[in-house]
Amino acid sequence: MSAATPLRRHSVGLVRHFALGRRPSLARSVRVLGKVWIHGQGDVIVDEDVVLDARSAPIELHATSGAEIRVGRDVRIESGASLEAIARITIGAGATLGAFCKIMDNHFHPLDGEHRLPPSRPVVVGAGAFIGERAILLPGASIESGAVVPPGAVVSRRFGAAQPSSASSRTGDGAERMPVAHDRSIVPARSVIGKVRAAADIIRAAWYLRTCTLGTHVRAGGPVAVVNEGSIRVGSNAVLLGGMIPTGLVCARGGALEIGAGTIFNYGVSVTVSRSVTIGERCQFGSFVRVSDRTGDRTGPVVIGSDVWIAHGASIDPGVTIGSGSVISAGSRVTADVPANSLAIGNPVRCMSLSLRSDRTAGRGVRSERR
């Protein structure tokens, strides 16, 4: 058998580990521990002696139609890691991807009202590189061979021995740009299959959110963990996407959670309410976003305006107001108010106007992004 061959005879023994879209190309010596979620219509190629250690949490490999994820020999991928490709992600031989790290070659945020995605930038992890736990590699990231990316770091350009050890950095103008590929695995909502799936999602939402007050056509693509001792209201046409880890909604006694119409949650979102969290209409939450109105001794209502996009792994602290139309970058921590129509990035965040592109600090006492 070649270094990477289609999953055939040995698929019988491994099928319990996979939630499959298109069959991946998987070498015989690959070790799978736990559940790996492979989906999309693109190519997923996994070389010899790779270890997919998903014992603590599932691993996600998602390649849309025309995209490629290529994992080199002797790579180790830890629990909860997620790779999402619209163009190309390449992991070099002997590299290690830490637990719950995220690699994506597209920001997935529409550029305009027509919902067109930005161009993709391939992501490359060099041979023998180490990506720390919960690190995030954004479009255009290129990790040098043998480099060590610290836990929780956010990287979007070339990173190596000469780079700062803990910085979120922007992609240079010379980064390779790729056209957006569209995933043909998505079933049109107007087709018979699409209508059946939509109906099933509505029924699933009614079950998992049965202790909540729901608008019309609320959908859930997978399990949702709900603990509601207060009041949770979910607006019409809201969507909670399914995924490898359920979204969690927790509302304490006397608390109130409002989720606006048309808002979309990816998998693994966590919203914890002690008193009040309000989320506007048509918001988009990436995977593993955290929102809480209470942390330690600090308590304060959280207000998120309409048309806000919060990227993967961002966290929203108590007492924060995010203005409508704003974008919160992946891995950012919002500790103070964000003006409307702003891009917020860093830990703690700094803001720039999406219209004027002028840097300004978000709220009182927020420092510049760490370098």
The span from the CA of 168 to the CA of 157, in Å, is: 9
| Alpha-carbon gap, residue 357 to 347, rounded angstroms | 19
Arithmetic mean of pLDDT, 65-78: 96
pLDDT in tens, 1-23: 444 443 433 343 343 445 545 56
pLDDT at 44: 95
Range of the domain at 64: 11-159
* pLDDT digit string, tens, across residues 259-297: 999 999 999 999 999 999 999 999 999 999 999 999 888
Read off φ and ψ for residue 314, nearest 5 degrees: -75, 155
Q: Is residue 171 one of the residues assigned to a domain?
A: no
Assess whether 148 and 200 both reside in one domain: no
According to the model, what pLDDT value does residue 2 have? Answer: 43
Structural domains of the chain, count? 2
Q: Identify the band that residue 89 occupies on the pLDDT scale cut at 50, 70 and 90.
A: very high
Give me the mean pLDDT over the 78-83 stretch: 95
Domain end position, chosen among 139, 159, 179: 159
CB-CB contact of 268 with 243 (8 Å) = yes
- Structure confidence at residue 244 (pLDDT): 82
239 and 346 both lie in a single domain? yes
Same domain, 351 and 226: yes
State how far the Cα of 272 lies from the Cα of 41, in Å rounded to an integer. 35
Dump pLDDT digits (tens) for 133-146.
Answer: 999 999 999 999 99
Beta bridge partners of 19: 37
pLDDT tens for each residue of 148-182: 999 988 898 999 854 444 444 433 334 444 444 44
User: pLDDT tens digits for 14-49?
Assistant: 434 455 455 688 889 999 999 999 988 899 999 999
pLDDT at 161: 59
* Among candidate residues 94, 81, 57, the one with its CA nearest the CA of residue 137: 81
According to DSSP, residue 183 is labeled -
Q: Is residue 36 part of a domain?
A: yes
Q: What is the pLDDT of residues 202-254, one digit of tens each?
A: 999 999 999 999 999 999 999 999 999 999 999 999 999 988 889 999 999 99
The CATH number for 235's domain is 2.160.10.10
* Per-residue pLDDT, 363: 43
What's the predicted TM-score (pTM) here? Answer: 0.74
Q: Are 276 and 298 in contact (CB under 8 A)?
A: no
Report the 10 Å Cβ neighbour count for 214.
18
> Looking at the domain assignment, is residue 305 inside a domain?
yes
242 plus 332 within the same structural domain: yes
